[in-house]
Structure 1
Amino acid sequence: MRCSPASEIPPTPEPSHPLVRRFWGYVHSFLKRFSVCCCRWVRIPFDNQIIPLPFGLLLKWSDGTRLEEVLATEVCRAAGLPAPKIISYGEHPDTLHAPVSILMTRLPGRELGQAYESLSPDARTTALTEFKLYLSTIRGWKSPWGDERVCSITGGAIRSIRVPNHAIGPCETPQEFHEYLLAPAHNSFASEAVHQEKLRSARKLQSLQRPGVKFTHGDIKHHNILVDEEGHITGFLDWESAGWYPEFWEYTTALRFVPKDFWWYEFLMKAGAERYLEESKCERALTSLTADSYSW
């Protein structure tokens, strides 16, 4: 770790003017076509969502890319986290499924999931220590939107693949948040008894929620963390789901679908996820009741 992250959240920058964003949208469209030609010429795979460019740059233009991701990335970089540097961001009103593109720097290092098995024990300890510090720092930030409001960094709706229709909020109270999550619940089980047990478990989640909201990455996965050979974290990627969530959300999101015999599960346990195992169990019940609403 090169420096300690800020203990207070930096101000959220003002978005650029819509006309400026439209201009950069045209530039980014050209860069995408340029990348397609270059990839064909040098015979390397072309990624339609994380578009490779020369000079250490990437163009992200995916289904989840929104203006809030730009602002969250800029805030976290300003706070000292190893987030990409935003060069420009453009709007594309003709592609409603992917209305924003982001030109950013490519960060050094390898994905933690690719590197972990080859890291030395000391390097693994370094990665865990820095991971815990970064998460504890952003979770200690105070929300400018109040202690209960679940919202994005701008105070508006959050985009997350974990919620119905991939969008939620802003929710002014925990009750509103949990009611929204549970609203699409339906019985797809073999018996009514199983259905009722799942409902009881899912409803228990609200009673387990601790007071307050925490600033949350929202999609902590090992492929969104970059490390060097010594285990230092060189990159935190993909802030598209970042915002103010209930305390458990960061860890229960990271634990989703992770088998207990996988190294990432143990890593998360050591990082603090063991405090949220009951919440994780309730979330699995919630998912089984509402998964059909997580449509693209």
Structure 2
Amino acid sequence: MFARALDRVASLTLQVRLQIGKKLFGSLGPTLVKISRNRVIKGPCQLPELEALNYVAKYTSVPVPKVCATHDQPEGFYIEMEYIQGTNLETAWIGGLLSPAQKKAIVQELAGFVEQLRRLKPPHEGIVASAGLRGALDYRIGTSLFGPFHNHEDFHSFLRGHIPMENCSQVYGERVSRCHSRQYRSCFPHSDLTLRNIIIRDGKITAIVDWAFAGWYPEYWEYTKAHYGLLDIPDWYAEFGRIVARYDDELAAERALWAQFDEPGMAQQWISSFASSRCVERTVV
């Protein structure tokens, strides 16, 4: 009973801090509130984001917000972290705030951070999981945690809705079949390395934020996921393709899958419909 009372007090305190923060500083987004000059609270979050923030801070020099505290709530948990001064790269890049030389310098700095992530050693090859080796999250797939997978074959099968490889070409085309037959290293990508998640100040990267989708994936995942955004910014993609290993076949394969599953959570619905139609065809035949 005493523990429940403490939980209610903690929950009320958090909500009050969030409301005061919104009044004083305004909201920074649907899940992010600045609560003081130096801190923000993000939430509700899922565990992979916290695991990634702590993992990257411990094993690399990639600039990430420092985690100050976490707050467990019935709807999820909230991460209290340092507020990073600066401008997101999307605003600066599209808004003409950067010279060509500044753009190249920022991209080169980013290249070093991406390389640090790619040098991290997985617990074993083939794994697909969060930094804590639990279920991962990526809205490219859906809004729920998935995995962990102990090999890429199982992960690719999951991406295909468990359509067997012998039927893959018929359903998704040759590119998906070819790429899902290859062997890949496991790397640790950010998995949402879009311009809005890179914070800059005075022409330098001060932080890379929003690590909700980070984890262990096939080596092509960073490159393909960087193209998953809504904005078409040709010069950014050209620069990005210059600093990271390109996986153009895999990008084409992923785009074939995106065309089928273009909304979070659509995959299983589409797969069920496809399976039902195949059953009907077999019955008619």
TM-score (norm 2): 0.80
**Match for residue 287 of structure 1?**
258
**Match for residue 138 of structure 2?**
160
Q: C-alpha displacement at 1:53, in angstroms? A: 1.9
Q: C-alpha displacement at 1:247, in angstroms? A: 0.2
Q: Percent identity?
A: 24
Question: Please, which runs of 5 or more residues in structure 1 have no aligned partner?
Answer: 1-19, 186-194
1:1-296 equivalences under 5 Å are: 26-38=12-24, 44=26, 47-62=29-44, 65-78=45-58, 79-93=60-74, 95=75, 99-116=76-93, 117-144=96-123, 146-183=124-161, 196=170, 198-210=172-184, 212-230=185-203, 232-257=204-229, 262-273=234-245, 275-291=246-262, 294=265
- Count, aligned residues: 255
Q: C-alpha displacement at 1:58, in angstroms? A: 1.0
Q: C-alpha displacement at 1:280, in angstroms? A: 0.3
Residue type at the aligned position of 1:85:
K
Q: Is the 8 A contact 1:184 1:290 kept in 2?
A: no
What CA RMSD, in Å, does the superposition of the two structures yield over aligned residues? 2.8
Structure 1 residues 209 and 287, CA gap change in structure 2 (3 angstroms):
farther
Question: Please, which runs of 5 or more residues in structure 2 have no aligned partner?
Answer: 1-5, 164-168, 268-285
Instruction: Provide Cα deviations, 1:246-273, integer angstroms capped at 9, x if missing partner.
Output: 0000110001256776222112111225
Instruction: Provide Cα deviations, 1:104-156, integer angstroms capped at 9, x if missing partner.
Output: 11112211111123212332222111111100111111012x11111101111
Residue type at the aligned position of 1:38:
L
Q: C-alpha displacement at 1:204, in angstroms? A: 2.4
Residue type at the aligned position of 1:119:
L
SS in 2 for 1:135: helix
Which stretches of structure 1, 4 residues or more, deviate above 6 A after TM superposition? 20-23
**Match for residue 16 of structure 1?**
none
Structure 1 residues 25 and 177, CA gap change in structure 2 (3 angstroms):
farther
TM-score (norm 1): 0.77
